């Protein structure tokens, strides 16, 4: 066991508690297997990690794109960009065009890199997969079962029939399939749709095409955790969102209906949240950061038929750090945020760093723009970890 030191915690300008000890190591956590550069800076803890990437991000387009892209580009080096626009990004040419729109909307001097995806349909051709690989800017294909979530109406209706030649070409091109893992059968309970998808679609798919790389996106259940862990490492992985780590389905009804906590897949029971937390904080390489940050203007959430999606980009790293700290696993945070994703995709890890400071800060109640407001996850709450930029 590594030597541990104690540092007094003094009150800060934001009114943090004083006089209680914080248990730290001068460079690493107790029982840490690798350095994570955790130190006390005056009265504050600071954690330096390799710059993270977001492996599941919705940036939308138009005014909404311009509004939200600075939040993601501020701390994340790269992001897998979801293709469910109107109309969806179904071709390489459309992906290239969308990428240019993102680059144009970035803040000045930003080095954020969008990694594009194609929206899989019943009519996608194998040749389109070849074009996507040759483009150098398309890194995956997204499977939306038709009707599963926002702008998924043009998604897949016959995966094993109409899409099989495309999936076989993806194996040849080493192009990952990113899966929204829910069935859309209205007779299946909404809280069971992930499990049923695993049993009826995903498991047969892996058996049929064992060389296909698959990311099960935004997992929400212990069933998904068990499935990913049962698969061959390096071929099946999962992204995990801040909301599915921090919230359970009670959060949807706390103090009344909470539309800004509504997302798809919907939040699940506490036993499922605990299973996901255990998986990501275990150090497994099969799980990595994917925020699924999904902005909607306030009136489209607070209405009689509110849109699904949690806007978490401004708070994601703070929430992830909180979860790992509570699990006593801060030494495993960097792998989850910065290593496992690029390793799975076969991309180089980032070389720059960011810093997380144990500093309380209050999340804005909303962000205002010309077109309206966006309410973020944890709106109005005080969080304990503050991400800061750090020079290369």
Contacts of 49 (CB under 8 A, 6+ apart): 36, 37, 333, 334, 337, 338, 353, 354, 356
Structure tokens at 237: 């992985």
Cα–Cα distance, 286 to 215 (Å, whole number): 9
List the Cα angle 81/86/91 in 5-degree steps.
60
Residue 143's beta-bridge partner residues?
A: 179
Which tokens belong to 82?
């979801």
CB contact at 8 A, 105 and 61: no
- Catalytic amino acids? 56, 58, 142, 180, 218, 292
User: Per residue in 202-218, is it b (16+ CB within 10 Å) or e — as a string?
Assistant: beebbeebeebbbbbbb
Three-class DSSP category at 228? helix
Torsion sign across C-alpha atoms 246, 286, 346, 141: negative
- Which of these, 230, 235, 332, 232, lies nearest to 277 by C-alpha position? 332
């Amino acid at each position: 066991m590594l030597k541990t030191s104690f540092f007094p915690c003094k009150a800060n300008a934001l009114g943090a508690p004083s006089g209680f000890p914080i248990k730290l190591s001068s460079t690493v956590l107790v029982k840490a297997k690798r350095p994570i550069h955790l130190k006390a800076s005056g009265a504050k803890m600071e954690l330096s990690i390799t710059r993270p990437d977001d492996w599941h991000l919705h940036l939308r387009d138009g005014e909404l794109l311009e509004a939200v892209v600075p939040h993601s580009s501020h701390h994340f080096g790269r992001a897998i960009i979801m293709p469910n626009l109107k109309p969806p990004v179904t071709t390489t040419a459309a992906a290239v065009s969308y990428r240019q729109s993102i680059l144009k909307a970035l803040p000045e001097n930003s080095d954020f890199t969008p990694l594009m995806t194609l929206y899989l349909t019943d009519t996608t051709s194998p040749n389109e997969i070849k074009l996507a690989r040759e483009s150098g800017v398309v890194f995956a294909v997204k499977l939306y079962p038709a009707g599963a979530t926002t702008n998924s109406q043009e998604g897949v209706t016959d995966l094993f029939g109409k899409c099989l030649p495309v999936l076989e070409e993806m194996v040849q091109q080493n192009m990952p399939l990113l899966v929204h893992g829910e069935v859309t059968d209205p007779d299946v309970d909404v809280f069971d749709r992930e499990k049923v998808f695993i049993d009826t679609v995903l498991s047969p798919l892996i058996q049929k095409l064992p060389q296909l790389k698959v990311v099960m996106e935004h997992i929400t259940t212990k069933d998904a955790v068990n499935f990913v862990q049962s698969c061959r490492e390096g071929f099946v992985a999962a992204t995990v969102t801040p909301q599915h780590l921090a919230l359970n389905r009670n959060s949807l009804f706390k103090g009344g209906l909470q539309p800004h906590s509504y997302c798809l897949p919907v939040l699940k029971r506490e036993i499922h949240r605990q299973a996901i937390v255990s998986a990501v904080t275990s150090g497994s390489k099969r799980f990595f950061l994917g925020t699924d940050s999904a902005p909607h203007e306030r009136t489209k959430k607070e209405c009689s038929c509110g849109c699904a999606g949690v806007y978490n980009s401004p708070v994601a790293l703070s929430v992830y750090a909180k979860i790992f700290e509570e699990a006593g696993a801060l030494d495993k945070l960097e792998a989850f945020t910065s290593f496992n994703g690029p390793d799975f995709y076969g991309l180089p890890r980032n070389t720059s760093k960011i810093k997380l400071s144990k500093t309380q800060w209050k999340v804005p109640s909303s962000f205002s723009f010309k077109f309206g407001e966006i309410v973020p996850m944890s709106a109005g709450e005080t969080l304990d970890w503050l991400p800061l930029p750090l020079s290369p």
